[in-house]
């Protein structure tokens, strides 16, 4: 049975799963669905109107998966175009005062630390850790098991398994080796990721040339995740902080 604090506001039409706790003064709007075993802390606001000047009144949604924790004063806005949704996958942990803009999509087991701000249409894959006060521009993509270091500003895509440089803009600092171990990637898989990373960031190849080399070397495994992610990038990828990689990758937000 769910536990709803008497000062919480749950609009008629919201769908609350079993064993959900909703804390004091939290607000859940009518177009929100929350899966089982979630915990919504005091003052969180889920499903309010998008902060989009082009928004016209429409039926849009927020979908929260199972086993999520949404801490104090988190704000999650619903989709902006008719029929669209902001989506939070299973097992996510959103810390105090973080914000998900309209049409954000989080994969599973994503952690968003205190004060992090995700603009509209940001896509975050499984197992990503977004540190405190990170700012992510709209339409940016973050690949699986990446880690965004505290206070960084991100306006370009972050490839899988990478760590961004803290307090810097659009800079990769290295590989998330600890995160890969904790996620159970084998030594062979980690070595493959290191090889793909070296082609992308440590060689004298530009991004297109590095991708072609990856296609020649890898037909399966986590390196293919990097290949596919970078190939699909529209904003370009963050370059290395020491200047390695594509010299055009930091052409601006």
- Quote the pLDDT of residue 251: 30
Separation between Cα atoms, residue 117 and residue 101, nearest integer Å:
8
Q: Which residues contact 214 (CB under 8 A, 6 or more apart)?
A: 196, 199, 200, 223, 224, 226, 227
The tokens describing 243, both together, are 């200047």
Contact (Cβ atoms closer than 8 angstroms) between residue 128 and residue 146: yes
Kindly state the average pLDDT of the residues 22-42.
98
Instruction: Give residue 56's pLDDT.
Output: 95
Mean pLDDT for the stretch of residues 41-57: 97
Q: Fold identical between 3-176 and 180-231?
A: no
Distance, in Å, from the CA atom of 128 to the CA atom of 77, rounded to the nearest integer, reads 20
Residue 184 has pLDDT above 60, yes or no: yes
Please write the tens of the pLDDT for every residue from 66-108.
Answer: 999 999 999 999 999 999 999 999 999 999 999 999 999 999 9
pLDDT in tens, 190-205: 999 999 999 999 999 9
The pLDDT of residue 17 is 97
Q: Choose among 71, 27, 65, 19: nearest CA to 49.
A: 27
pLDDT of residue 247: 34
Neighbours of 16 (CB within 10 A): 19
Global pTM? Answer: 0.94
Asked if 148 and 131 count as a contact pair (C-beta separation under 8 A), the reply is yes
Residue 188 pLDDT level (bands cut at 50, 70, 90):
very high
Cβ partners under 8 Å of residue 209, min gap 6 = none
| 3-state SS, one letter per residue, for 24-79 | CCCEECCCEEECCCCEECCCCEEEECCCCCCCCCCCCEEEECCCCEECCCCEEECC
Domain ranges of the chain: 3-176, 180-231
| The CATH fold of domain 3-176 | UDP N-Acetylglucosamine Acyltransferase; domain 1 (2.160.10)
- The mean per-residue pLDDT over the stretch 151-179 comes to 98
The dihedrals phi and psi of 68, each to the nearest 5 degrees, come to -95, 150
> Hey, what are 11's tokens?
């609009």
Separation between Cα atoms, residue 96 and residue 124, nearest integer Å? 19
On whether the 180-231 domain is CATH 1.20.1180, my answer is: yes
Residue 249 clears pLDDT 70, i.e. is over it: no
């Amino acid at each position: 049975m769910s536990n709803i604090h008497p000062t919480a506001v749950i609009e008629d039409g919201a769908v609350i799963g079993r064993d959900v706790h909703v804390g004091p003064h939290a607000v859940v709007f009518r177009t929100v669905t929350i899966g089982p075993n979630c915990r919504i802390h005091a003052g969180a606001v889920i499903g309010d109107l998008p902060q989009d000047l082009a928004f016209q009144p429409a039926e849009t949604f927020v979908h929260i998966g199972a086993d999520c924790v949404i801490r104090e004063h988190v704000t999650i806005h619903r989709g902006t175009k008719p029929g669209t949704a902001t989506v939070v996958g299973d097992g996510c942990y959103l810390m105090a005062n973080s914000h998900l803009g309209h049409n954000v999509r989080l994969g599973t087991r994503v952690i968003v630390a205190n004060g992090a701000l995700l603009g509209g249409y940001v896509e975050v894959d499984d197992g990503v850790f977004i540190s405190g006060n990170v700012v992510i521009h709209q339409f940016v993509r973050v690949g699986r098991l990446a880690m965004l270091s505290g206070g960084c500003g991100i306006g370009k895509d972050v490839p899988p398994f990478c760590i961004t440089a803290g307090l810097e803009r659009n800079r990769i600092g290295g590989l998330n080796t600890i995160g890969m171990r904790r996620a159970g990637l084998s030594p062979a898989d980690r070595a493959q990721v290191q090889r793909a990373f070296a082609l992308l960031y440590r060689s004298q190849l530009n991004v297109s040339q590095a991708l072609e080399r990856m296609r020649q070397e890898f037909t399966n495994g986590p390196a293919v995740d990097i290949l596919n992610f970078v190939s699909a990038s529209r904003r370009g990828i963050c370059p290395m902080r020491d200047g390695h990689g594509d010299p055009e990758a930091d052409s601006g937000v």
